[in-house]
A and B are shown apart, each in its own frame.
Chain A
Amino acid sequence: DQQVKQNSPSLSVQEGRISILNCDYTNSMFDYFLWYKKYPAEGPTFLISISSIKDKNEDGRFTVFLNKSAKHLSLHIVPSQPGDSAVYFCAASSSNTGKLIFGQGTTLQVKP
């Protein structure tokens, strides 16, 4: 029972273009969503988050969009840079459990 799904295992984009990473969830109790970036041989690092009371949160080149009716969130990176090449995990939690549920990850490759 995969409550958080990232259906694209990999994504390749050209430097300077937009990267869009997608994530779907099934549990309507989730009210807090996060994106993490992970480089090889390192721990995940927090990127950006959004609570269910918002539909958009922006931080520099990174924007997260939340569509609650579709149970879908996406991460936009504009413009993409080679240093953005990493595995991106989305995660979700609900206030009554406090536990994060992670998606399987999407490997982003940004080509120079």
Chain B
Amino acid sequence: NAGVTQTPKFRVLKTGQSMTLLCAQDMNHEYMYWYRQDPGMGLRLIHYSVGEGTTAKGEVPDGYNVSRLKKQNFLLGLESAAPSQTSVYFCASSKDWAWAQYFGPGTRLTVL
């Protein structure tokens, strides 16, 4: 039982490049989330999904896209990376809204 895993752990991009972050969970959770953490800002919700095939915008969705083709996977895409997207990205999942969210180990992304 791995819980929530994220790939990759680290990545350096140049401005304008694209990439996809993969999140996988093996807890059969319906809800999945993508957050970014910046110094002094706590965690801010980028996008989330309440079930397979659904996605919704969070607090800071601009510049990101997501897909939830399979229940266990939630992908976060950056189509044209910008230095402002340098951050640590966390994926999380939960059984329902009122249940605790379980987080992955994070992906540290640097955009030059």
Contacts and interface: CB of A to CB of B under 8 A. Distances in A.
Interface stretch (B67-75, B79-87, B100-108): B100-108
A14 B97 CA distance: 36
Nearest to B101: A100
A8 to B, nearest CB: 13
Q: How large is the interface on B (under 10, 10 to 19, 20 to 34, 35 or more residues)?
A: 20 to 34
Interface in A53-82: none
Interface in A9-37: 9, 32, 34, 36
Contacts of B104: 43
B4 A104 contact: no
A99 B45 contact: yes
Interface string A94-110: 01011111111100000
B37 to A, nearest CB: 9
Contacts of A93: 97-98
A99 B48 contact: yes
A45 B103 contact: yes
Contacts of A45: 103
B43 interface: yes
Interface in B25-41: 31, 33, 35, 40-41
Nearest to B102: A46
Contacts of B92: 43
Contacts of A46: 100-102
B21 interface: no
Contacts of A43: 4, 90, 92, 103-106
Interface of B: 4, 31, 33, 35, 40-45, 48, 50, 58-59, 90, 92, 97-98, 100-106
12 contacts: A43-B4, A43-B90, A43-B104, A43-B106, A44-B90, A46-B102, A98-B50, A98-B97, A99-B45, A100-B45, A101-B45, A102-B43
Q: Which 9 A-B pairs give the minimum distances between C-beta atoms?
A: A98-B97, A43-B103, A46-B100, A102-B42, A102-B43, A104-B42, A44-B103, A43-B105, A43-B104
